[in-house]
């Protein structure tokens, strides 16, 4: 009998997150205050984040305990299944073994609830009752609205304009959990009005929506804090539960991955699946191929510059050392809205720069092709974002078919695509466009990267 599902006993769910900081191969450079160009201290972040999250942001503790209240909510859907994709392997005719961690089973439909729950919790215990945030595809807005509902908090979500149009039901879902949704750029913030005038036909971007949500927190006089769904160290930290569980699940069937893959927007689900395995390569000498899969229409790591840049278009965040396409880069309106971000997590950037990890970029048509091969063999419609990871996993499996290698491939299925059927319609009717980004378009974005001299 085939064991498709490798389940983890609920009692064995890890009760601490893994912090990669002490295991980094070389020290990381700190975020800088854009005014003084000095390293940001906790006080610089206190206007927008509560202290427990700021402490996690800079922590050098190897493991950080998950609070009991958060564990209780995690148990609503965790541990998530690890599945051996026998049927996909068969469809491809590959000797490779393919495993995927199914984060689509969360009530939000994606991995994002892994961090929205602790973020809401730490704000709540710090006396904050209201959060503001941005959302691209709507996944993060959904996850934060669920978490806020659970902790009885208010929530305002700035939703990237193009997704607001493309994904009306994502918006309804966020509203069903009691949050307020505003299309971005909006007229409700100073920075929104300014950027709407500057980029009239952009359809918005994550960079703009972040600026709006940050402004709301900064100008609230402390009643509202800001919450980010990716990029920051504490967000990546919360996502490591994915890889920690996957490691235990693989161990239980005597397997260890040769290749680990995640789609990469800000880098949180990719970090979640990969970081708990990273010390085995950095210190343990294991030969693991870590692959971040990004869209060719927003090729942050594969074509960006490694430099200090803002996390948002309105230049409100600290300067972060990262791969960046420039904080005013406006990505084309591809359907993987969650991957339309000009930058990437500094921790992921650092590991790529140090040669521990690598990135690949794909156009959307080959990703949807991979998504349907996966859907028709595994029975799950993946999120357009996740389809980038599936494309990379299929390509690695096909390489094994050529070479005869029996590699073990692990990837993160970051979410399902039930709210993305417009995108599938476009693909199935042959109307989905690939975007070949010209170098001069990229150069314009890259010109906005601050020159620190
Ligand atoms: C938000 C999202 C992503 C991209 O964000 P990361 O921080 O890079 O993980 C990927 N997949 C899904 C399903 C998402 O909702």
Asked if omega into 144 is within 30° of 0 (cis), the reply is no
Q: Could you list the residue range(s) of the whole structural domain that residue 74 is in? A: 5-10+67-109+234-437
Q: Is the CB of 383 under 6 A from ligand 1?
A: yes
Q: Is the CB of 269 under 6 A from ligand 1?
A: yes
Asked whether residue 453 carries a pLDDT value surpassing 80, the answer given is no
* Residue 264 is assigned to a structural domain of this protein: yes
Give the residue, out of 109, 135, 138, 139, with the most ligand 1 atoms within 8 A of its beta carbon, to mutate for a pocket test: 139
Q: Is the CB of 338 under 6 A from ligand 1?
A: yes
The pLDDT of residue 393 is: 98
pLDDT, averaged across the chain: 95
Ligand 1 atom nearest the C-alpha of 110 is 13
The pLDDT of residue 199 is: 84
Query: CA distances (Å), 68 to each of 75, 126, 435, in order?
Result: 10, 16, 46
Q: Is the CB of 139 under 6 A from ligand 1?
A: yes
Query: CA distances (Å), 371 to each of 336, 348, 431, in order?
Result: 12, 25, 16
Ligand 1 atom nearest the C-alpha of 344 is 8
Q: If you take atom 15 of ligand 1, which residue's CA is the nearest one?
A: 139
Q: In this predicted model, what pLDDT tens digit does every residue of 298-307 receive, in sequence order?
A: 999 999 999 9
The pLDDT of residue 104 is: 98
Q: Is the CB of 263 under 6 A from ligand 1?
A: yes
Q: If you take atom 10 of ligand 1, which residue's CA is the nearest one?
A: 385
Distance (angstroms) between ligand 1 centre and the Cα of 269 equals 6
Strand 154-160 with 259-263, pairing: unpaired
Give the residue, out of 240, 266, 352, with the most ligand 1 atoms within 8 A of its beta carbon, to mutate for a pocket test: 266
Considering the chain, what percentage of its residues have pLDDT values greater than 70?
100
Ligand 1 atom nearest the C-alpha of 103 is 13
Distance (angstroms) between ligand 1 centre and the Cα of 403 equals 32
Q: Is the CB of 227 under 6 A from ligand 1?
A: no
Q: If you take atom 14 of ligand 1, which residue's CA is the nearest one?
A: 338
* Residue 263 is assigned to a structural domain of this protein: yes
* Residue 268 is assigned to a structural domain of this protein: yes
Q: In this predicted model, what pLDDT tens digit does every residue of 224-282 receive, in sequence order?
A: 999 999 999 999 999 999 999 999 999 999 999 999 999 999 999 999 999 999 999 99
- Please tell me the total count of domains within the chain: 1
Ligand 1 atom nearest the C-alpha of 415 is 13
* Residue 151 is assigned to a structural domain of this protein: no
* Residue 302 is assigned to a structural domain of this protein: yes
* Residue 443 is assigned to a structural domain of this protein: no
CATH number of residue 276's parent domain: 3.40.50.1100
Asked whether residue 334 carries a pLDDT value surpassing 90, the answer given is no
* Residue 27 is assigned to a structural domain of this protein: no
Distance (angstroms) between ligand 1 centre and the Cα of 405 equals 30
Between CA 79 and CA 86, with CA 82 as vertex, the angle to 5 degrees is 160
The pLDDT of residue 1 is: 77
In whole angstroms, what is the distance from residue 212 CA to residue 197 CA? 14
Asked whether residue 382 carries a pLDDT value surpassing 80, the answer given is yes
Contact assessment for residue 241 and residue 74, using Cβ atoms and an 8 Å cutoff = yes
Ligand 1 atom nearest the C-alpha of 265 is 8
Q: Which of 220, 212, 291, 228 is nearest to 57 (CA)?
A: 228
* Residue 49 is assigned to a structural domain of this protein: no
Ligand 1 atom nearest the C-alpha of 239 is 9
**Structure-derived torsion over alpha carbons of residues 165, 170, 175, 181, reported in degrees to the nearest 10:** -40
pTM over 0.85: yes
Ligand 1 atom nearest the C-alpha of 231 is 7
| Exposure of 103 in the CB half-sphere (CA atoms within 13 A) | 31
Distance (angstroms) between ligand 1 centre and the Cα of 384 equals 10
């Amino acid at each position: 009998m085939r064991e498709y599902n490798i389940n983890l006993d609920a009692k064995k769910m890890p009760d601490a997150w893994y912090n990669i900081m002490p295991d980094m191969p070389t020290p990381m450079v700190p975020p800088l205050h854009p005014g003084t160009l000095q390293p940001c201290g906790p006080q610089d972040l206190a206007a927008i984040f509560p202290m427990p999250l700021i402490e996690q942001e800079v922590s050098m503790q190897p493991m950080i305990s998950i609070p009991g209240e958060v564990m209780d909510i995690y148990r609503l859907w965790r541990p998530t299944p690890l599945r051996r994709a026998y049927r996909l392997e068969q469809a491809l005719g590959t000797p490779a073994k393919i495993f995927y961690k199914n984060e689509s089973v969360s009530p939000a439909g994606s991995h994002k609830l892994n961090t929205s729950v602790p973020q809401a919790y730490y704000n709540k215990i710090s006396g904050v009752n209201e959060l503001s945030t941005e959302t691209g595809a709507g996944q993060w807005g959904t996850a934060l609205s669920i978490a806020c509902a659970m902790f009885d908090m208010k929530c305002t979500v700035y939703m990237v304009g193009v997704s607001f149009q493309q994904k009306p039901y994502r918006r309804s879902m966020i509203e069903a959990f009691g949050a307020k949704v505003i299309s971005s750029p909006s007229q409700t913030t100073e920075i929104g009005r300014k950027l709407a005038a500057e980029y009239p036909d952009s359809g918005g971007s994550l960079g703009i929506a972040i600026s709006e949500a940050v402004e709301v927190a900064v100008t609230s006089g402390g009643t509202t804090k800001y919450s980010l769904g990716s990029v920051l160290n504490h967000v990546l930290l919360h996502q490591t539960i994915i890889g920690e569980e996957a490691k235990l699940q693989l161990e239980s069937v005597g397997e260890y991955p040769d290749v680990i893959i995640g789609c990469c927007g800000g880098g949180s689900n990719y970090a979640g699946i990969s970081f708990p395995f990273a010390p085995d390569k950095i210190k343990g000498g294991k030969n693991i191929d870590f692959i971040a899969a990004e869209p060719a229409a927003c090729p942050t790591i594969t074509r960006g510059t490694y430099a200090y840049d803002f996390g948002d278009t309105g230049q409100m965040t600290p300067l972060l050392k990262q791969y960046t396409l420039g904080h005013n880069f406006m990505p084309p309106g591809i359907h993987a809205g969650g991957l339309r971000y000009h930058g990437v997590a500094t921790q992921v950037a650092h590991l790529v720069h140090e040669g521990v990890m690598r990135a690949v970029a794909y156009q959307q048509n080959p990703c949807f092709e991979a998504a349907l091969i996966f859907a028709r063999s595994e029975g799950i419609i993946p999120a357009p974002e996740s389809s980038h990871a599936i494309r990379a996993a299929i390509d690695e499996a096909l390489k094994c078919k050529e070479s005869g290698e029996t590699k073990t491939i692990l990837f993160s299925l970051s979410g399902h695509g039930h709210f993305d059927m417009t995108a599938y319609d476009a693909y199935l009717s042959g109307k989905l466009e690939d975007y070949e980004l010209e170098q001069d378009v990229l150069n314009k974005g890259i010109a906005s990267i601050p020159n620190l001299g």
